[in-house]
Structure 1
Amino acid sequence: MTVIALRNATKRFPGTGGQPHTAVRDLTFEVAAGEFVAVVGPTGCGKSTTLSLVSGLEPASSGEVEVDGAPVRGIPDGVGYMFQADAVMPWRSVIDNVAAGPRYRGLSKAEARTRAMVWVERVGLGPFAGYYPHQLSGGMRKRVALAQTLVNEPRILLMDEPFSALDVQTRQLMQDELLRLWQGTGAAVIFVTHDLEEAIALADRVVVMTSSPATVKAIFDVPLQRPRQVEEIRMTPEFVATYREIWESLRDEVARARQEVSRVG
Structure 2
Amino acid sequence: MMRNVTKSFNTPQGENHDVLRDINLSVGAGEFTAVVGPTGCGKSTTLSLICGLARPDVGEVLVDGRPVEGMGKDVGFVFQTDAVFPWKTVLGNVAAGPRFRGASRREAHAEATDWIRRVGLAGFERYHPHQLSGGMRKRVALAQTMINRPRVLLMDEPFSGLDVQTRQIMSDELLSLWDLTRPSVVFVTHDLEEAISLADTVVVMTAGPATVKETFTIDLPRPRNPREIRHTPEFVRLHERIWESLRDEVQVAYRRTVTATPDTAA
Above 0.5 in TM-score? yes
SS of corresponding position for 1:11: strand
Partner of 1:54: 50
Query: Quick one: distance in 2 between partners of 1:74 and 1:178?
Result: 26
1:220 aligns with 2:183: no
Q: Alpha-carbon deviation of 1:184?
A: 4.3
1:239 aligns with 2:244: no
Q: Alpha-carbon deviation of 1:185?
A: 1.4
Q: If the length of structure 1 is used for normalisation, what is the TM-score?
A: 0.97
> In the alignment, which of 165, 168, 174 is matched to residue 172 of structure 1?
168
Q: Alpha-carbon deviation of 1:206?
A: 0.2
Letter in 2 for 1:152: N
* Identical-pair percentage: 62
How many residues in Structure 1 have an aligned counterpart in Structure 2?
261
Q: Alpha-carbon deviation of 1:109?
A: 1.3
Partner of 1:263: 259
Range 35-44 or range 74-83, more displaced: 74-83
SS of corresponding position for 1:45: coil
Partner of 1:117: 113
SS of corresponding position for 1:126: coil
Query: Quick one: distance in 2 between partners of 1:103 and 1:76?
Result: 17
Query: Quick one: distance in 1 between partners of 2:163 and 2:51?
Result: 28
> Are the equivalent residues in 2 in contact too, given 1:26–1:215 (CA < 8 A)?
yes
1:108-153 superposed Cα distances (whole Å, 9 cap, x missing partner): 1111111111100000001111111111111101000000010100
Q: Alpha-carbon deviation of 1:186?
A: 2.6
> In the alignment, which of 3, 16, 22 is matched to residue 18 of structure 2?
22
1:156 aligns with 2:152: yes
Task: Give unpaired runs (5+ residues) of structure 1.
Answer: none
Partner of 1:183: 179
Q: CA RMSD in A?
A: 0.9
Letter in 2 for 1:18: G
Query: Quick one: distance in 2 between partners of 1:105 and 1:20?
Result: 40
Q: Alpha-carbon deviation of 1:189?
A: 0.2
Letter in 2 for 1:87: A
Task: Give unpaired runs (5+ residues) of structure 2.
Answer: 262-266
Letter in 1 for 2:143: A
1:168-203 superposed Cα distances (whole Å, 9 cap, x missing partner): 000000000000110141310000000000000000
Partner of 1:33: 29
Q: Alpha-carbon deviation of 1:17?
A: 3.0
Query: Quick one: distance in 2 between partners of 1:18 and 1:87?
Result: 32
Query: Quick one: distance in 2 between partners of 1:174 and 1:97?
Result: 19
SS of corresponding position for 1:127: coil
Query: Quick one: distance in 1 between partners of 2:242 and 2:85?
Result: 38
How is 1:64-83 mapped onto 2 (pairs within 5 angstroms)?
A: 64-83=60-79
Query: Quick one: distance in 1 between partners of 2:31 and 2:177?
Result: 14
Structure 1 moving runs of 4+ over 3 Å: none
1:251 aligns with 2:247: yes
1:236-262 superposed Cα distances (whole Å, 9 cap, x missing partner): 000000000000000000000000001
Partner of 2:9: 13
Q: Alpha-carbon deviation of 1:76?
A: 2.4
> Are the equivalent residues in 2 in contact too, given 1:67–1:76 (CA < 8 A)?
no
